[in-house]
Amino acid sequence: MPDHDSDSLLNRQTKRRRVDIGVKRTVGSIASSTAAATTATTDNIARAKAAIFSAMNSLSSHSHHGSDTDSMECSVVQPHGGPGVMTASDSESKSNVLRKLLKRANSYEDTMMPFPGTTIISQLLKNNMAKNGGGHERGERGDRGDRGESGFPGSGLSNASSDAPQEDACSNSSQGSTPQECLSPFGRPPGLATFDIERLNDEHLRAKRARVENIIRGMSHSPSVVVPAASRHERDHEMDGDREMELDCPPPQSQQQAPSSPRGGEVCGSSSSSRENKRKQRLPQQQQQSFTQLVCQRKEQKQEERRQLKLQLEDMQKQLRQLQEKFFQIYDSTDDSEHTDLHNDINNDIGNMSEDSPARSDTGGDDRGGDDLRSDNEMSDLDPGHFLDRARALLQEQALLADREKPRREGLGRSKGQGGPGSSMHAEGKQLAETLKQELNSAMTQVVDTVVKVFAKPPRPTPQQAFPPLSIPPERFPTAVNGDNPNFHTANQRLQCFGDVIIPNPLDSFASMPGMPGTTNDQTEALPLVVRKTPSEHHHHHHHHQSSAVGAHGGHHHPALHPSSLSASMGFSPPSFRHPFPLPLMGYPFQSPLGAPTGGYTSKDRSSPDSMDLSRETTSLRTKMSSGHHMGHHHRSCSPAHPGSTAESLSLSLIKSECGDLQDMADISPYSSSNIQEGLSPNHLKKAKLMFFYTRYPSSNMLKMFFSDVKFNRCITSQLIKWFSNFREFYYIQMEKFARQAINDGVTGVEELSVSRDCELFRALNMHYNKANDFEVPDRFLEVAEITLREFFNAIVAGKDVDPSWKKAIYKVICKLDSEVPEIFKSPNCLQELLHESYSSRSSPLTKQEISTVVRSKEIPHWNTGVSSKSNQVPLM
DNA sequence: CATAAACCTG
DNA sequence: CAGGTTTATG
């Protein structure tokens, strides 16, 4: 007999015959980006997304229209090149910076001394409020509009804020006043020690100050409310461009009907329009949802942040007070004689100074006046300079006191010339000043460092968005990374922070991952699509599959995984990343939080499920789509996730982290619902397979509904469709094979053919779609399978298989046999539930539904291809 | 020109 | 199951 059972023969026979069942044409609607299509769909999208997120940041993103690489660089405080470039010479700028710092310190001191507990905080809060409310710094400092920054509309908070003020001061001062003048804000003799201090620290301070300012500003401007809107606009635009065709479409429900129109596009009439309709409504909805969510979360987050900030400030105040006390102590010990007076003097002087400061800045000149306004408004801030200023003030006090002391002593004890004693006193004072300076400086530095670190730790979403992912793919993280010392991260981060905005250190995200590379880690990488099956699974025997399937994909993996990974990373993890503040001021809390900065990533990554796929080769196996995306951004250590998804995932992760509770995070299990991930997981694949038992030709809408925990985009949709396509392929191949086998075996009538649960055909199918056999295959599937088999049988017997497209008729029949997928499949957790159910011999209400033979009116869209009437015989139905 | 499905191949 | 190719459709 001819080799009926030969697959190769089969293939040859049907070779290149396109049996276009057309059922799924609709799927295309999802993302057919005809509009945006053109060349760089991916690139454009990526760029658009980058832009969106930068907008969300409301941070100054230099327009992202540049190359991707460029867009990556956007940072708030770019030392160079930014709008707020430092134009003045270094020295000038330094002095100006210092001046500013001092000024600000004065203003703080004003309030602070009298009411130690309240001022900074209140001021800060006030400022934040003002910013949030007014929200438009630009307006406040409108005069600056003429300056360079104006060219960057997108940068509400922009670079200007930190650098520009300095620049202003610098330029002004350089023109109008000398650096020296700048250096003596207190009006004290320049010769005093302060200069040294300044020299020592100004650089440091500048950086710190910039950072802190940025942080604070960013906080106050957290993208929350305003941004989403903007970003949404952007998105909408993108949407319009990309899938404007989707809008008018009927609700998803109708989608199913669409394909149903027998001759495909006919019902749709203007097929294009109908398609367009469908397209538009979907993604927008989802995104909108996520955005509203985002907004809410952000608000909460903000409040939380505020609270934390407050605490932080209080701590800092305490420290300052301590410093003050220390100063007094030192002073006292140094000079007992003037005890009471000194205290009084100090207090008075400080008070005076602070009171003076405003006046000074007012008179101080035009160059400073403007700055002050600005600084007050926009850098409300918790400025590191403040501490320095304080220290300076104290020092000055001391100097003054010393000076007074001199005459007094002279008058009292010495009738002689002022020579020896006077100078000695002066020297002593100087020394004391030096000591104090140093001490204060170190203390201040610590404080500032701490603060900065604390702030740096939480990679606010903004920076992340502004600075697209670029995470280094897990592959690139050798074990060393896991073991790496925290300091590295910290330092690294700090560097980054100083450099520009706070840029989450990609390393951190992965570093945060519980080590043990080879173990049950989640994918460190957000696989955009699916993790491929492991080779082992491929080549091993089925027995193995069953166990491994369940174990690896199913329950075993994540259950174990989550607790561990979460707990492991929880300490620092996302929440902490958002709420680092509780950390002790002077402690070293920052090492652990390493993962924190990239908490977003972490969470996101974690969201993609099981499979510590590093060990497997899954990671290397990517879908075309994903790889394509990567390509677009490979410029820097390829990003683990493709840009678009990454961006979105970031916001998502943001939401998650903003929810901020450990519990929340814990609840977000990779497979679980609440977590919308941008990639398809092996579990999704499994789910799809199970769904295949119900539907062989799911519509894209259906897929969306049933994979609600996946953020749909073109790739995802295509991927899912492809899956089902593959499923069908296998299914039909099996059918044909068994049909031919039956024929070869001498079966003469279809009546002899049946598909039962223990027949070979079913076993083969079950093995494919339900390897673990932990799912009870609906009876309906058996029926369909039987029908299919008979169709094939009949067709072959009838010799139809000579027709290249003979299968088409069969497809046509089968595609109508889809049954409703149980609702439970809509649950992201359906896998667990289903499996559990099956274990406990469920009395599935579901199956009943399914079983009800509801041959849907789902029509066969375009059966365009030839085979017209040949097989109209749908015998078995 | 793009999409999607079928078809092939690995 | 993914990648690539072909075919059909809009």
The pLDDT tens digits for A452-475 are: 454 554 443 333 333 333 333 333
Per-residue pLDDT band for A773 (boundaries 50, 70, 90) equals: confident
The rounded distance, in Å, linking the Cα atoms of A640 and A625 is 13
The rounded distance, in Å, linking the Cα atoms of A366 and A363 is 7
Lowest-confidence segment of A71-85, A285-299, A304-318, A723-737 by average pLDDT: A71-85
The rounded distance, in Å, linking the Cα atoms of A50 and A69 is 11
A58 sits within 7 Å of strand C by its CB: no
Three-class SS of A722-790? HHHHHHHHHHHHHHHHHHHHHHHCCCCCHHHCCCCCCCHHHHHHHHHHCCCCCCCCCHHHHHHHHHHHH
Three-class SS of A285-323? HHHHHHHHHHHHHHHHHHHHHHHHHHHHHHHHHHHHHHH
Per-residue pLDDT band for A389 (boundaries 50, 70, 90) equals: low
Q: Nearest nucleotide (C1') to the CA of residue A726?
A: C1
Sequence-separated (6 or more) residues with CB below 8 Å from residue A715: A528, A529, A623, A625, A626, A629, A642
Give pLDDT, residue A467. Answer: 32
Tell me, in Å, how far CA of A416 is from C1' of C4? 103
Place of tokens 């993108």: A238
What are the tokens at A104? 């600000």
Lowest-confidence segment of A10-24, A418-432, A589-603, A755-769 by average pLDDT: A589-603
Count how many residues are written for chain A.
877
Per-residue pLDDT band for A314 (boundaries 50, 70, 90) equals: confident
How far lies A585's CA from each of A191, A371, A455, in Å? 34, 30, 11
The rounded distance, in Å, linking the Cα atoms of A190 and A180 is 7
Give pLDDT, residue A818. Answer: 86
Give pLDDT, residue A794. Answer: 87
pTM above 0.75, yes or no: no
**Buried-exposed string A367-398: b where 16+ CB fall within 10 A, e elsewhere:** bbebbbebbbbbbbbbbbbbbbbbbbbbbbbb
Tell me, in Å, how far CA of A534 is from C1' of C1? 10
Residue A439 has pLDDT above 60, yes or no: yes
pLDDT averaged over chain A? 47
Place of tokens 């030709």: A697
Give the sign of the dihedral formed by CA A867, CA A872, CA A876, CA A877.
Answer: positive
Q: CB of A777 within 8 A of CB of A693?
A: yes
Phi/psi of residue A710, each to 5°? Answer: -115, 135
pLDDT digits (tens, 9 = 90+) for A483-518: 333 333 333 333 233 322 333 333 333 333 333 333
Stretch A195-208: mean pLDDT: 50
List all nucleotides in chain C with at least one atom under 7 A from a protein Cβ: 1-4, 6-10
Per-residue pLDDT band for A749 (boundaries 50, 70, 90) equals: confident
Tell me, in Å, how far CA of A224 is from C1' of B1? 40
Tell me, in Å, how far CA of A29 is from C1' of B4? 10
Q: Nearest nucleotide (C1') to the CA of residue A700?
A: B4
A27 sits within 7 Å of strand B by its CB: yes
Place of tokens 């709008």: A83
Q: What are the contacts of A674-677 at 24+ separation with CB within 8 A? A: A675/A607, A675/A709, A675/A828, A676/A290, A676/A607, A676/A652, A676/A708, A676/A709, A676/A710, A676/A711, A677/A526, A677/A604, A677/A607, A677/A608, A677/A649, A677/A652, A677/A709, A677/A710, A677/A711
pLDDT digits (tens, 9 = 90+) for A135-154: 333 333 333 333 333 333 33
The rounded distance, in Å, linking the Cα atoms of A308 and A128 is 14
Tell me, in Å, how far CA of A717 is from C1' of C10? 20
A621 sits within 7 Å of strand C by its CB: yes
Q: CB of A782 within 8 A of CB of A756?
A: yes
Residue A113 has pLDDT above 70, yes or no: no
State whether residue A403 is helix, strand or coil: helix
List all nucleotides in chain B with at least one atom under 7 A from a protein Cβ: 1-9
User: Which chain A residues 30-59 have CB under 7 A to strand B?
Assistant: 30-34, 37-39, 41
Amino acid letter at A656?
K
Lowest-confidence segment of A127-136, A384-393, A558-567 by average pLDDT: A558-567
What are the tokens at A149? 């920054």
pLDDT digits (tens, 9 = 90+) for A511-540: 333 333 333 333 333 333 333 333 333 333
Sequence-separated (6 or more) residues with CB below 8 Å from residue A560: A520
What are the tokens at A828? 């992201």
Place of tokens 């199956």: A847
| Residue A6 Rama label (left phi>0; alpha psi -120 to 50; beta) | beta
Higher pLDDT, A690 or A334: A690
pLDDT digits (tens, 9 = 90+) for A608-625: 333 333 333 333 333 333
Tell me, in Å, how far CA of A698 is from C1' of B1? 26
Give pLDDT, residue A680. Answer: 83
Q: CB of A71 within 8 A of CB of A643?
A: no
Per-residue pLDDT band for A864 (boundaries 50, 70, 90) equals: very low
Supply angle C-alpha A352, A353, A357, rounded to 5: 120
State whether residue A555 is helix, strand or coil: coil
For chain A, what is the radius of gyration of the CA atoms? 35
Give pLDDT, residue A802. Answer: 83
Phi/psi of residue A677, each to 5°? Answer: -110, 160
How far lies A616's CA from each of A60, A677, A789, in Å? 41, 21, 37
Residue A779 has pLDDT above 70, yes or no: yes
Q: Nearest nucleotide (C1') to the CA of residue A34?
A: B2
Residue A381 has pLDDT above 70, yes or no: no
Stretch A664-678: mean pLDDT: 46
A539 sits within 7 Å of strand B by its CB: no
A699 sits within 7 Å of strand B by its CB: no
Q: Nearest nucleotide (C1') to the CA of residue A805?
A: B6
Lowest-confidence segment of A39-43, A317-321, A743-747 by average pLDDT: A39-43
A865 sits within 7 Å of strand C by its CB: yes
User: Which chain A residues 802-841 have CB under 7 A to strand B?
Assistant: 805, 807-808, 811
Sequence-separated (6 or more) residues with CB below 8 Å from residue A216: A124, A128, A309, A379, A380, A381, A382, A455
Three-class SS of A224-239? CCHHHHHHHHHHHHHH
Give pLDDT, residue A449. Answer: 63
Percentage, residues of chain A above pLDDT 70: 20
CA A444 to centroid of chain Cα atoms = 33
Lowest-confidence segment of A278-287, A458-467, A592-601, A795-804 by average pLDDT: A592-601
Residue A758 has pLDDT above 60, yes or no: yes
Nucleotide B2, nearest residue via CA and C1' = A34
Stretch A84-111: mean pLDDT: 39
State whether residue A710 is helix, strand or coil: strand
A51-55, A164-168, A346-350, A759-763: which is most confident: A759-763
Angle between helices A643-659 and A599-607 (to 10 degrees): 110
Tell me, in Å, how far CA of A697 is from C1' of C10? 21
Residue A36 has pLDDT above 70, yes or no: no
The rounded distance, in Å, linking the Cα atoms of A212 and A649 is 27
pLDDT digits (tens, 9 = 90+) for A229-273: 333 333 333 333 333 333 333 333 333 333 333 333 333 333 333
Higher pLDDT, A435 or A760: A760
Per-residue pLDDT band for A392 (boundaries 50, 70, 90) equals: low
What is the maximum span of chain A, computed from C-alpha positions, in angstroms? 136
| Continuous segment of H or E residues that includes residue A533 | none
Amino acid letter at A587?
G
A585 sits within 7 Å of strand B by its CB: no
Residue A324 has pLDDT above 60, yes or no: yes
Q: CB of A509 within 8 A of CB of A610?
A: no
State whether residue A677 is helix, strand or coil: strand
Place of tokens 């001022």: A119
How far lies A527's CA from each of A465, A564, A643, in Å? 19, 21, 12
The rounded distance, in Å, linking the Cα atoms of A474 and A476 is 5
Q: CB of A284 within 8 A of CB of A242?
A: no
Higher pLDDT, A832 or A118: A832
A203-207, A210-214, A785-789: which is most confident: A785-789
Give pLDDT, residue A440. Answer: 58
Per-residue pLDDT band for A707 (boundaries 50, 70, 90) equals: confident
Q: Nearest nucleotide (C1') to the CA of residue A714?
A: B3
pLDDT digits (tens, 9 = 90+) for A789-817: 888 888 888 888 888 788 888 888 888 88
Give pLDDT, residue A725. Answer: 92
